Amino acid sequence: MFFDLHIHSKYSYLDSVAEIGDIIKVAKKAGMGAIAISDHDAIEGSLKAAKLSSKELIIIPSMEISSVDGHIIGLGIKELVKRDMPAAETVEKIHALGGIAIAAHPYDTLRRGVGDLSWKVGFDAVEVNGHCLYGNGKAESEAKKHGKSVVGGSDAHSANEIGIICTRVDGKSAEEILENIKKGLCKPAYKKNPVSLKTSVLAGKISRRIGKGLRGD
């Protein structure tokens, strides 16, 4: 199945205006079998979405945590992990909550990734990212060198970006999906070519700006 593990909703302050219901509709239309809403330093929206999980679309609770060393996705957690801790401590907390820790866009030059800490701290996987068109190659090559699982996430900040990069992984439940990622039984899936990918990202930025203007943010 296709799994987009990095989607932002309106609960990700100033990052998205996407409603949970719209995310679910678009994800199904895009052919996703599973998604995770990974809002910045917030988990309320993800927990609400997870209650709507079904056989048709598995929804795994998640969040994107701002560690002092860079952004980390805590996939499969149901409690808020506080921001501004060291990466090692953040990863330990995610594991203590029963989740897996993913180094989000580790080599992105425009947003904060953990870089080489991906291999020095106990991450379960590293991400290639729909908003990181020039750091993904290094993430994949370094992951291969260090024997680390690689996943794909769209980093969608608007619904139309869902699935532009996602993860190919099997699993009939959240637990099976997480276990297969830990075992490396997964790989990134590029649903759009580089040109259409850039177009989707640009369209998303425009729609977010319009949405924020309408909200008065």
CA proximity to 188, closest of 155, 146, 145: 155
Residue 211 scores a pLDDT above 80 = no
- What does the pLDDT average to over 80-100? 98
**pTM for this entry:** 0.89
CATH of the domain at 150: 3.20.20.140
Name the domain count of the chain.
Answer: 1
Residue 194 scores a pLDDT above 70 = no
Q: What is the mean pLDDT of the chain?
A: 90
- What does the pLDDT average to over 124-148? 93
Residue 216 scores a pLDDT above 90 = no
Q: Which two tokens stand for residue 120?
A: 């020095």
Q: Which domain holds residue 146?
A: 2-215
Instruction: Give the range among 50-64, 162-176, 200-214 with minimum mean pLDDT.
Output: 200-214
Q: What is the pLDDT of residues 15-56, one digit of tens each?
A: 788 999 999 999 999 999 999 999 999 999 999 999 999 999
